[in-house]
Amino acid sequence: MRMYDLIYTKKLGGALSPDQIVFWVKGAADGSIPDEQSASLLMAICWRGMTTEETLALTLAMRDSGKRLDLSAVPGLKVDKHSTGGVGDKTTMILGPIVAACGVPCPMFSGRGLGHTGGTVDKFEAIPGLNVELSEAEFLRSLSETRFANSAQTADIAPADKKLYALRDITATVESIPLITASIMSKKLAGGADALVLDVKCGPTAFMKTLEDARTLAQSMVNVGTAHGMQIRALITRMDAPLGWAIGNALEIMESVEILRGEHAAGELAQMSFRLAAEMLIMGGAASTLAEAQAKVQASIQDGSALETLRRFVALNGGDATSLDDFSRLPQAGQVVDVLASQDGYIADIDGRSLGILAMDLGAGRRDRSDVLDLGVGIRVLAQVGQKVAKGDLLFQVFAKANQLVLPDLYLSTLRLTMNSTVQSPWLLASIGC
């Protein structure tokens, strides 16, 4: 088999066989195929696409390049969630404990943040002492004892994806539906869950800009999961303003706990988390209708079992569970700067991406992978789309390092004000398989 022939076939728009795809992925991972040939094939895939069969073969080849977790020791259908990433997205920390409290095991692997979006691992790391890099034994113990486990992805999961992603990152080949699909699904399949709910973000500041693109990506992942015999559903959700009030690691822990306490229940973050959790309960066999699932979700909030599950997860994995009830034990900012409205008007939209970058510049996120975070800094977003504001109203609180220069105008420039009232569109844009 010659790599040249694979590139040439794809360049002309043909399909690669599973054997050819395994040959490529192995060769790319072990270095026997030079990076320039992989780069050329990656661009040809961006051009010509891949069939579901090819995408599944790529997914499986990348999964099989590393370790696969065996969760069979934990009884029941294990259900995972994946989000394509948004600013202020802390749904994992909310729905994981809810789903677990409702009886469905929820094994989750997360990433660290880069650029304007945060990473769930960084957020959990704001809980003092919590081990966010669990060994396989620790992960299984957490899943068995609390039905919830969350850990950073280890290097031995889908190493071929890591290698190819690094190549895609410098060759402008990240944006390709089959390549994104295989990258996500290879890691999800290696993680060993039986079912998966996808939250595909859509909007001008998300990776998928249009509903059509988001739907195509969601459908591609659903196709691959289904072809592999996995239960899989997708929600396509609006991404423009930040999700919830908190951006920044400790702040997002606080907001997650507030939601698990039953606060902000009518807000978008709670509604989205509850709906994703309900889909997971259905797939996990804990409910047969959406209404039944949603009632169970509500009960886990009202009886405190969801929050208690989070406390047990934290305590089991070395974390300070009392910090969940006493936020003064979480990392704190050196100063808090209020940002006030400089004029009257209605908030037409909020640029979540820009706020994500401002939070990154505060130290809540990484510009480079080597950056060290300040887990206490971030932004409290009080402004809401559709809100009427008067000059002097509090719109943001900036949690910064002591002595860090905070320029309120930068924050105000993320808001678009209009003279007339506007209405926020619904957060759920579409769903597949729900």
Min separation Cβ 8 and its own copies, Å: 4
Pick out residues in 9-28 that bind its own copies (CB under 8 A).
11
The single residue among 22, 25, 43, 184 that binds its own copies, judged by CB under 8 A, is 43
Part of the chain binding its own copies (CB under 8 A), chosen from 2-10, 140-148, 194-202, 390-398:
2-10
Binding of residue 37 to its own copies (CB under 8 A): yes
Binding of residue 1 to its own copies (CB under 8 A): no
Binding of residue 39 to its own copies (CB under 8 A): yes
Show the DSSP H helices in 66-210 as ranges.
91-101, 120-125, 136-146, 159-170, 177-190
The letter for the amino acid at 115 is: G
Binding of residue 34 to its own copies (CB under 8 A): yes
The single residue among 1, 172, 390, 394 that binds its own copies, judged by CB under 8 A, is 172
Contact present, 403 and 362 (Cβ < 8 Å): no
Q: In residues, how long is the chain?
A: 434
Q: What 8-state DSSP symbol labels residue 323?
A: G
Part of the chain binding its own copies (CB under 8 A), chosen from 170-178, 303-311, 378-386, 400-408:
170-178
Contact present, 134 and 174 (Cβ < 8 Å): no
Contacts of 253 (CB under 8 A, 6+ apart): 90, 93, 123, 124, 126, 127, 323, 324, 330
What CA–CA distance (Å, rounded) separates 274 from 271? 5
Part of the chain binding its own copies (CB under 8 A), chosen from 41-49, 64-72, 143-151, 247-255:
41-49
Among the options 10, 78, 81, 82, which is catalytic? Answer: 82
Binding of residue 177 to its own copies (CB under 8 A): no
Angle at 252 between CA 327 and CA 109, to 5 degrees: 115
Among the options 81, 168, 201, 353, which is catalytic? Answer: 168
Part of the chain binding its own copies (CB under 8 A), chosen from 39-47, 236-244, 278-286, 366-374:
39-47
Binding of residue 167 to its own copies (CB under 8 A): yes
Q: Which is nearer to its own copies, 210 or 332 (CB)?
A: 210
Q: Which is nearer to its own copies, 44 or 196 (CB)?
A: 44
Q: Does the active-site annotation cover 123?
A: no
Among the options 80, 89, 161, 351, which is catalytic? Answer: 161
Contact present, 150 and 108 (Cβ < 8 Å): yes
Angle at 76 between CA 73 and CA 79, to 5 degrees: 105
Min separation Cβ 307 and its own copies, Å: 44
The letter for the amino acid at 9 is: T
Mutual angle of helices 18-30 and 159-170, in 10-degree steps: 80
- Phi and psi for 368 in degrees, rounded to 5? -115, 155
Q: Does the active-site annotation cover 116?
A: no
Helix (H) or strand (E) holding 319: none
